[in-house]
Amino acid sequence: MTEKLWDKVARNIVKAGVFPVPISESLIELLQELITEEQAQFLLIYSKPSMTLEEIKERTDMDEESILKMLDTLMYNGIIIGTKSRSTGKMVFRLMGTFPGIFEYTNLRGETDEKHVKIAKMFQKLFSERSKMDETNREAMINIFKTLPPTDRTLPVEKEVEVGTEAVMPFEDVKMYVEEYDDIAVAHCYCRHHKDLLNDPCKLGASKNNCFLFDKSAVFAIEKNFGNRVSKEEAIKIFREAEDQGLIHKVFHVHSDTNRGIEAICNCCKCCCGIIGMYRGGIAPLHTMSSYLAEVDEELCVGCATCLEICPMETIYSEKNKAIVDPEKCIGCGVCAHHCPENAIHLKRTGPRDVLISPI
């Protein structure tokens, strides 16, 4: 029964997530490190990712006090998150997927004890196994991603948008997102923290306390000690510092639906970001929404290669001592434009486009 238990729990967690994850021995070992057998038994009730307390009661013989105690422990450990439904006002308890989900919450507090070092190595093993795919499996995986919504939305560095084009549209500017929400929490960058635990620190030396949660996710993070409340002014200051450090703004929407509100904004570097890392490691395509493309003014470009070094997607190359942008791989983040010493790069608005780039 024990083997079947962990297999079923792993399947429930994978189904609750966005990315397809194989049910493997490594995944089950990771889950056994994160949750107890008793907690695993409880998670079997999650036939769907989100349930109210009343729905949970219908699926278990536990009394309400025991259920709430179990939920509280699982929420503190980042296996479940609890938020209040806007439509009903009831608490909804959502089971997290492996990635994004449990991986992030495991690292948000920036804990460095032996257990978290062990967990970081187990996640890395899981990611490494996924990179060892043959071409048939790789093609099948890419086809799956084509049917899924984009994982996130890439926001541009606002002041780098081409002069003379229409203004930055609502919700395409990080400042507009910040103004929209009253509840904002900042936490450790889970990706850079994960790399620190593996003794592979950020090559940019970028700040770590710049992962943002908004609205109901922020309230949950503050209540469960995953992050700290910040003001709108403090948030904007941190975002601007991130831009100066060469980081990308990546927005994560509720249920990966870009028409819904947002849960989080990350400030990503190419050396630590899990999503970029999976793309570069051959594990998964990079799938994002963007509304801009970088363009180079050849008359101003002096071929200094600053943009080649800082581009997170490494989509810029040099030809005849001039920078050239590959539009198929450009995610319109504006990092190159922000750091070009000659102001030779600008962002051109394209309108929303679904960018799907096959893994390297």
pLDDT on residue 163: 37
Domains and CATH numbers, the chain: 2-96+113-126 (1.10.10.10), 137-357 (no CATH)
User: 57-93: b or e for each residue (b if 16 or more CB lie within 10 Å)?
Assistant: eeeeeeeeeebeebbebbbebbbbbbbeeeeeeeebb
Residue whose entry in the numeric block shows the structure tokens 């590959």: 326
Cα–Cα distance, 243 to 100 (Å, whole number): 23
Alpha-carbon gap, residue 321 to 25, rounded angstroms: 50
Beta strands at 286-296 and 152-155: parallel, antiparallel or unpaired = parallel
Residue 139's Cβ-side half-sphere holds a number of Cα atoms within 13 Å equal to 3
DSSP assignment, residue 158?
A: G
Report pLDDT digits (tens) over 14-64: 999 877 788 999 999 999 999 999 999 999 999 889 999 999 999 999 999
DSSP letter string, 15-80: HHSSS-----HHHHHHHHHHS-HHHHHHHTT-SSSEEEHHHHHHT----HHHHHHHHHHHHHTTSE
Per residue in 86-99, pLDDT (tens digit) is: 888 899 999 999 98
The predicted-structure confidence for 120-161, as pLDDT tens digits, reads as follows 999 999 888 776 655 556 666 666 666 666 777 787 875 544
Is 238 strand, coil or helix?
helix
CA Rg value for the chain: 21
Q: What pLDDT does residue 162 have? A: 43
**Residue 302 backbone phi and psi in degrees, to 5:** -110, 5
Structure tokens at 18: 């966005």
Question: In the structure, what pLDDT confidence band is assigned to residue 331 with cuts at 50, 70 and 90?
Answer: very high
* Amino acid identity at 308: L
- The Cα–Cα gap between 137 and 129 comes to 13
Q: Which helix or strand (DSSP H or E) is residue 116 part of? A: helix 114-130
How many Å apart are CA 235 and CA 61, to the nearest integer? 45
Residue 259: CA count within 13 A, CB half-sphere: 1
Show Cβ contacts of residue 315 under 8 Å, excluding neighbours closer than 6 positions.
325, 326, 328, 329, 330, 331
**Residues 260-318: tens digit of each pLDDT:** 778 899 999 999 998 888 888 877 788 888 889 999 999 999 999 999 999 999 999 99
**Residue 259: how many other CB atoms lie within 10 Å:** 7
Are the C-beta atoms of residues 219 and 196 closer than 8 Å to each other? no
Q: Are 55 and 49 in contact (CB under 8 A)?
A: no
**pLDDT value at 117 more than 70:** yes
How many CB atoms are located within 10 Å of the residue 138 CB? 17
Compute CA distances 200 → 34, 57, 120, whole Å: 23, 45, 12
Which residues does residue 83 pair with via DSSP β-bridges, in sequence order? 92
